[in-house]
Structure 1
């Protein structure tokens, strides 16, 4: 009787250890599959971003009514935001601190959802014909002499 109880106890312990081991192994494999899926989503995002770069450049050049853009540089990192948009960032004329932009891409429709610009870059796209001349003059007066000269040069006006 004592031997039977010992044998049953040993078998129960072996079964518990085996089941625990199987559950642990399954959880590890499940996490590995999740990481692989994330990587594949990231790879898909990077592929779409690469295909959309010419369209982003086209949108930037369309906004550039003063022909300010000389170079467009895209940053390497492509992100997927919580809303599912693919976000690609870049900058203009080798000035990442001043002339930054970002584009949100829609994966399903393969189109640009929205574009945003740094304030400095947005100013270079401004069409002053849409404003009262005093608004432009007030803006120019808010700049230092050096900034004013650079701005006028950037939008193709005489200093």
Structure 2
């Protein structure tokens, strides 16, 4: 009987020590998780956007066959769309209403998925050499502008000083 009581007492002590040890270990791990927090998705998106800005500028300049772009400005806000793309927006030549663009970045591939441009910016990227056998296409396009808009467009694509 005395041996049974001793054995039960030893088992109770072992169980209490084990439970106390597990609780202590769990508390330490919880505190270390608070200290070593993983970056949020938004922070990761902002870091990638910052790294990709030079590549976005390179793409814009490649499209800019008429050397229209003087300045490129990126907006501060970076978003993650429902499909998981990181979207960074900006504008050209200090005119956000007319010459805006956006780039969708692929996080895992660390590359530009797609670029889109406001219509007026896209117009500045038209390569009229492709229509050299059809000059009426350009003329019809230019007729859609007012006189001031036409002159500005021709200046923007380097055809008028």
Normalising by the residue count of structure 1, what TM-score does the alignment of the two structures yield?
Answer: 0.75
1:148 corresponds to which of 147, 150, 158: 150
CA distance in 1, matches of 2:56, 2:80: 17
1:59 is paired with a residue whose SS is helix
Unaligned runs of 5+ in 1: 1-32
**How much does 1:130 deviate?**
1.1
SS in 1 for 2:40: helix
By how many angstroms is 1:146 displaced?
0.4
2:99 paired residue number: 99
Inter-partner Cα distance in structure 1 for 2:151 and 2:41 = 46
The counterpart of 1:135, out of the listed 125, 134, 137, is 137
State which drifts further: 94-103 or 123-132. Answer: 123-132
Deviations 1:116-141 (A, max 9, x none): 00000000000011122111000111
Query: What RMSD, in angstroms, separates the aligned Cα atoms of the two structures?
Result: 1.6
Larger Rg belongs to = 2
Instruction: State the Cα distance separating 1:158 from its structure 2 match.
Output: 2.1
Q: How many residues align?
A: 124
Between the aligned partners of 1:56 and 1:91, the Cα distance in structure 2 is: 12
Q: Secondary structure at the match of 2:68?
A: coil
TM-score (norm 2): 0.74
* 2:66 corresponds to 1:55: no
